[in-house]
Structures are given as C-alpha cells and as structure tokens.
C-alpha cells in the first residue's frame, strides 16, 4: 500500500503530479476551508499532511491522526504548527523557504509603494468616473502621496525576506535600518544596513516593514507604545503575520494620525472581515497574497513534494524544521 497524503487546499499541479508518483493523494478541492471537524476525521488514516495558513496542527489533530509521520507546511512560516509536540511524537515538519523570498519581498514593495502613492484610492477615483463627472480640473494637489526615493526604510527582521526587501531599497536610494535578534555584520556590509534598537528604528524610519516570524517574542511587537514612537508621516507595512501587530492599537494610530498609513497583507484574524480598517482610506489591504506568484507557488508545491518524497525514501527532507526529530524516529 502506498502512503496516503492529504492536501488541505488546492496547490499547483506540478507538486501534485510529483506527489502522485509516490503517494495516494487526496486534495480538499472545496472552495470553503476544510472544517475542523472534517479535517480531524480525514486525518485518521493519513501518513502525511500538506497544510497551510491558519490550520492548527496541534496535539488534538495529532491525536486524531495515529499514522501521521510528516507535516509539510505550504509556507515558510510555521506558527500554525505545534512543532514541539510534533517532535515529541516523531512527526517530521517541513516548510518552504527561499522559493518565495523574492515574490514576498516584491509584494512588500508593492504595498509600500501603493500606500505611499495612494494607488488604490486613485484607482477607485479613476474608475468611478468622478474625474470627468465632477468637472473638476486636474490639479497638482490631487492625490498627494509620500516621497519614497531617498527616504529611510526600517526593516524589522533581517532574515531571507528582510534582506531581499533591503536589496530593493538600494534601488530607491534609501538609508536602510534594521532590527533583529542578533546583529548581522555580513548583511550590514552587503546592504549598507545600519542596526538600530527597535525603538530607534521606529523613531527614525519613514517606512517600517515587518518581516519577522511570529513567535512568543514577536506577538504584538508593534503595540500602542511603539506605534507612538513612529513619525506622523511614516507608513507601516506588514507582510509577516497579523499577530505581530496589535490591531486595536494600529487602528487608533491610523485614526488619530500618529502614523500616516499602513499596507497590510496579514491580519490577527484571517479572513479579515468588516473590521475598522475597511473604512480607512490611508490603508491598503491585501488578502495574504505575499507569495502568490506563479513562480513562487509552483516552487512551493515542488518543495513540498520533494520534502515528502525524501522522507518516504528514508532521507532527511531538505527543509526540515525540527532536526531533533531524527533522534526520535528515522525518516521513511
């Protein structure tokens, strides 16, 4: 019998084709997210799981899946998985780094530029026909935005994606500040980035971009006190995880003008629906699509498959997250 893999959402065909050569593959094809109780039922006889975003892979799920040997997360961030619990049980956990770095960094810039230059508001205005209907002459004060070129960008988290964001900032003639748990002398040399305390970075930056993983330490890292340190003209961009920012504090900051705007791809609760940000013109909102390019999505699908196949062949999966698991159980 071939091992069974459940894929919880549709992913590009290239990954599924590879998987089908080695596994019995079941894909949850429904438009709706797989309901938790259905997921708990479906995992009963699976050997491996391809999962993503907000699906909680916790002790309860692992209890429901006695045969589960590997969880391949279709994402670089794996805060949805209780990795410690998985390791204890000898379950391998993998993620999809690198293949989505450039796409996500590009998207951080798309949000930054769209927010700075009020692109979404301007698009809505143009489509509405108001430009002609109102009979107001075009004038030089329409849709004034924020300058980007030559300004200061502050990147919180200088991992793979943070560095790729910084590289792009070079082309915009920007001063680059960064904050991370440890200093990165090589990146400082390569990118000309300057280390700052988080507080210092927030005070000095015109654009603050969040690129940290969600951990206990980064939960609500950007809170009321820290938002108050930012310039009134500054823009916050979040392509990391929604819970890195205290949304209530952010709404207050935007309403009361402590900061000028925000470009968000991630939210504390996803899907984000009808929250206070909906009514604000100085925000640009995207539905967690940072890595949604053809290339990145196909790369992620391939990497998920490569990891699973390696595991099946008794090899260590190339992007294994919990290396200690090898002590608990050999792959295969």
As a whole number of angstroms, the distance between CA 263 and CA 113 comes to 9
Size of residue set near ligand 8YV by CB under 6 A = 9
Taking the complex as a whole, how short is the minimal distance between the CB of residue 77 and ligand 8YV, in angstroms?
A: 3
Q: Which is nearer to ligand 8YV, 7 or 259 (CB)?
A: 7
Does 6 appear as a known binding residue?
A: no
> Using omega within 30 degrees of 0 as the cis cutoff, is the peptide bond preceding 181 cis?
no
As a whole number of angstroms, the distance between CA 311 and CA 200 comes to 45
Taking the complex as a whole, how short is the minimal distance between the CB of residue 141 and ligand 8YV, in angstroms?
A: 38
The DSSP code for 228 is T
Taking the complex as a whole, how short is the minimal distance between the CB of residue 149 and ligand 8YV, in angstroms?
A: 28
Look at the chain and count its residues: 332
Q: Which is nearer to ligand 8YV, 72 or 187 (CB)?
A: 72
Residues 55-94 that bind ligand 8YV (CB under 6 A): 74-77
Q: Is 225 one of the annotated active-site residues of the chain?
A: no
For ligand 8YV, what does the binding mask look like between residues 285 and 304, x meaning CB under 6 A? Answer: -----xx-------------
Q: Which is nearer to ligand 8YV, 75 or 113 (CB)?
A: 75
Q: Which is nearer to ligand 8YV, 100 or 277 (CB)?
A: 100
Residue of 75, 116, 101, 77 whose CA lies nearest to 237: 116
Q: Does 52 bind ligand 8YV (CB under 6 A)?
A: yes
Q: Does 191 bind ligand 8YV (CB under 6 A)?
A: no
User: Strand locations in 58-182, DSSP E?
Assistant: 70-73, 92-94, 152-156, 175-179
Taking the complex as a whole, how short is the minimal distance between the CB of residue 190 and ligand 8YV, in angstroms?
A: 24
The DSSP code for 33 is P
Residue of 293, 327, 330, 284 whose CA lies nearest to 310: 330
Integer Rg of the chain from CA: 22
Does 65 appear as a known binding residue?
A: no
Q: Is 220 one of the annotated active-site residues of the chain?
A: no
Cβ partners under 8 Å of residue 229, min gap 6:
199, 202, 203
The catalytically annotated residue of 41, 270, 281, 315 is 270
As a whole number of angstroms, the distance between CA 286 and CA 284 comes to 7
For ligand 8YV, what does the binding mask look like between residues 116 and 135, x meaning CB under 6 A? Answer: --------------------
As a whole number of angstroms, the distance between CA 105 and CA 156 comes to 13
Does 182 appear as a known binding residue?
A: yes
Q: Which is nearer to ligand 8YV, 77 or 157 (CB)?
A: 77
Q: Is 59 helix (H, G, I), strand (E, B) or coil?
A: helix
Cβ partners under 8 Å of residue 106, min gap 6:
168, 293
Q: Does 101 bind ligand 8YV (CB under 6 A)?
A: no
Taking the complex as a whole, how short is the minimal distance between the CB of residue 35 and ligand 8YV, in angstroms?
A: 18
Q: Is 241 one of the annotated active-site residues of the chain?
A: yes
Binding residues for NADP(+) are 158-161, 180-182, 239-241, 288-290
Task: Give me the active site residues, please.
Answer: 241, 270, 288
Where along the sequence are the contacts to ligand 8YV (CB under 6 A)?
52-53, 74-77, 100, 290-291
């Amino acid at each position: 019998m071939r091992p069974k893999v459940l894929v919880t959402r549709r992913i590009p065909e290239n990954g599924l084709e590879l998987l089908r050569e080695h596994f019995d593959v079941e894909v949850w094809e429904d438009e709706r997210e797989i309901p938790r109780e259905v997921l708990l039922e479906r995992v009963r006889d699976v050997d491996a799981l391809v999962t993503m975003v907000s699906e909680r892979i916790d002790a309860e799920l692992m209890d429901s899946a006695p045969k589960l040997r590997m969880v391949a997360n279709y994402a670089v961030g794996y805060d949805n998985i209780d990795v410690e619990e998985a390791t204890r049980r000898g379950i391998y956990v993998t993620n999809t780094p690198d293949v989505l770095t450039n796409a996500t960094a590009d998207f951080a810039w798309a949000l930054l530029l769209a927010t700075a230059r009020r692109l979404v508001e301007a698009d809505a205005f143009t489509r509405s026909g108001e430009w002609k209907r109102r009979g107001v002459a075009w004038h030089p004060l329409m849709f004034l935005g924020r300058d980007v070129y030559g300004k200061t960008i502050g990147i919180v988290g200088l991992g793979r994606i943070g560095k790729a964001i910084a590289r792009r900032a070079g082309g915009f003639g920007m001063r680059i500040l960064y904050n991370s748990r440890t200093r990165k002398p090589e990146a400082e040399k390569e990118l000309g980035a300057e280390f700052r305390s988080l507080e210092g970075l927030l005070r000095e930056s015109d654009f603050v971009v969040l690129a940290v993983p969600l951990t206990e330490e980064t939960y609500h890292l950007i809170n009321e006190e820290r938002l108050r340190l930012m310039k009134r003209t500054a823009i916050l961009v979040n392509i990391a995880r929604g819970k890195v920012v205290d949304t209530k504090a952010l709404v207050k900051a935007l309403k009361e003008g402590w900061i000028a705007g925000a470009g968000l791809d991630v939210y504390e609760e996803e899907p984000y629906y009808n929250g206070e940000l909906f009514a604000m013109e100085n925000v640009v909102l995207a539905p967690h699509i940072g890595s949604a390019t053809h290339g990145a999505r196909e790369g992620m699908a391939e990497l998920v498959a490569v990891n699973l196949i390696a595991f099946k062949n008794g090899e260590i999966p190339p992007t294994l997250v919990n290396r200690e698991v090898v002590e608990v159980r050999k792959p295969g």
